[in-house]
Structures are given as structure tokens and as C-alpha cells.
């Protein structure tokens, strides 16, 4: 997940940038340092590896969201055994914004909401998923279909398969929307610093997680 993604305004609830299929990823903190909002990650209770993922920007280059990884760096699973061995959680920070004009004045950017974080988390999990029975040539079609499903689910957080889960954010309990699938889990909620938090993972239970502001994003390089 190495390339900086673009935010568009067609298709997703407040964001339209899906997490890309992972590849060789340069570890650079530059994009994260350009954000005008705080980044979130797992709190100090997590003592495993931490690493950078990707930053998403608007057409004018403004940083809109980004992801940080925790645990094992996952690879796209190509057989049933790979996913069982992976233990990771990715945390997505999304700047909370109202409907607004783009920086270059050429259009309007949708508001970012908890649904934005839920969709980015759902599509991010899919980027690391490859059903073992699927032929390589069919994965793109499958990914398109599943990403559309993730968008539909993110647009209706009050219904099944979503449930609620209370987790600490900077030490304060916050209610998250949470769902599980055969590929892993996804959750989304709002922090107290003008951002929404999304997360997804596999092999690591979401029930024991906590989130906090990252004091020094460079420690994730």
C-alpha cells in the first residue's frame, strides 16, 4: 500500500479512495507530517511492531486520511493457511470535515463521517484478502464486487451485520460500529480531536484494543 491515493467525490460516503492492493511499500513519513489533524494508532498496551501504510489526499494535495499498521505486516492471502498465521490491526485516521469546496475551487468535496472511516476500513481489509479457491484472473472482479458491498454496509451502520463495541480512545470510552466477516473484522467511530477512526484486522481480537494519539509518527517508520 505504497502509493498516495486521491480523494474523489463519486461513490463513497465522504471518501472514495479504496485501499490499494499491497505491494512493495516505501517507508516515508513525509505525507503524514503534512496533515493538519492528529494521527491515531493503538495505545501503549500494544507492544508489537508499528509501521506506516499510506496517506490519502484531495485533488489539491490536502491530506484527508491515512493508515498505520500494527503487528505482522500482512500479505494478500493466496491460501487458507496464510491468514491464520497473520496477526495485525490497521488504524485509519480520517479528518472530520463538512461539505466544502475543493482547494482549487473546481468542485465540492463531500462531508467525511464515521461511514467514511467504515468504508475505508472495509475496503482496506479486502486489499489483503484473496479467497484461496479463486483463480488469479478473477480477483479484480471479486474485489470490485466486495468493495461495493463494503460501501453499502458502511452507508447503513445502524443495521446488521453491524453491532456496537465500546473501546477507549485517549482513555475515554467511545462507541464503535463493529462487524466481522470471514476475512477479518472492521470497526469505525469518532475520536475527540476532530477525526474519525476506522480499523480492520485479522488474527488480533478487536475487543481488547484501545486507541490514542500518536505523539511521534516518525516512530512508525
CA atoms within 13 A on the CB side of 133: 0
Q: Which residue has the higher pLDDT, 172 or 60?
A: 172
pLDDT of residue 111: 59
pLDDT of residue 8: 35
* Burial annotation 80-91 (CB, 10 A radius, 16+ → b, else e): eebbeebebbbb
pLDDT of residue 58: 81
Q: Can you tell me the mean pLDDT for 75-98?
A: 74
Predicted confidence band at 205 (pLDDT cuts at 50, 70, 90)?
very high
Pairing of strands 195-202, 88-95: antiparallel
| Predicted model pTM | 0.81
pLDDT at 143 over 90: no
pLDDT at 22 over 50: no
Amino acid at each position: 500500500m505504497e502509493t498516495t491515493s486521491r480523494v474523489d467525490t463519486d461513490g463513497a460516503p465522504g471518501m472514495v479512495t479504496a485501499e490499494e492492493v499491497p505491494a512493495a511499500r516505501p517507508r516515508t513519513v513525509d505525507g503524514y507530517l503534512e496533515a493538519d489533524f492528529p494521527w491515531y494508532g493503538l495505545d501503549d498496551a500494544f507492544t508489537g511492531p508499528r509501521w506506516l501504510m499510506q496517506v490519502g489526499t484531495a485533488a489539491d494535495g490536502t491530506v484527508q486520511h491515512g493508515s498505520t499498521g500494527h503487528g505482522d505486516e500482512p500479505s494478500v492471502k493466496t491460501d487458507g493457511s496464510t491468514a491464520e498465521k497473520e496477526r495485525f490491526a490497521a488504524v485509519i485516521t480520517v479528518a472530520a470535515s463538512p461539505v466544502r469546496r475543493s482547494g482549487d475551487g473546481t468542485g465540492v468535496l463531500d462531508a467525511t463521517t464515521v461511514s467514511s472511516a467504515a468504508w475505508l476500513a472495509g475496503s482496506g481489509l479486502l486489499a489483503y484478502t484473496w479467497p484461496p479457491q479463486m483463480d488469479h484472473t478473477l480477483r479484480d472482479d471479486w474485489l470490485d464486487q466486495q468493495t461495493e458491498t463494503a460501501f453499502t454496509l458502511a452507508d447503513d451502520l445502524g443495521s446488521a451485520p453491524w453491532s456496537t463495541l465500546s473501546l477507549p480512545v485517549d482513555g475515554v470510552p467511545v462507541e464503535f460500529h463493529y462487524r466481522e466477516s470471514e476475512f477479518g473484522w472492521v470497526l469505525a467511530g469518532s475520536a475527540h480531536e476532530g477525526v474519525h477512526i476506522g480499523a480492520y484486522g485479522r488474527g488480533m481480537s478487536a475487543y481488547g484494543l484501545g486507541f490514542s494519539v500518536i505523539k511521534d509518527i516518525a516512530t512508525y517508520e
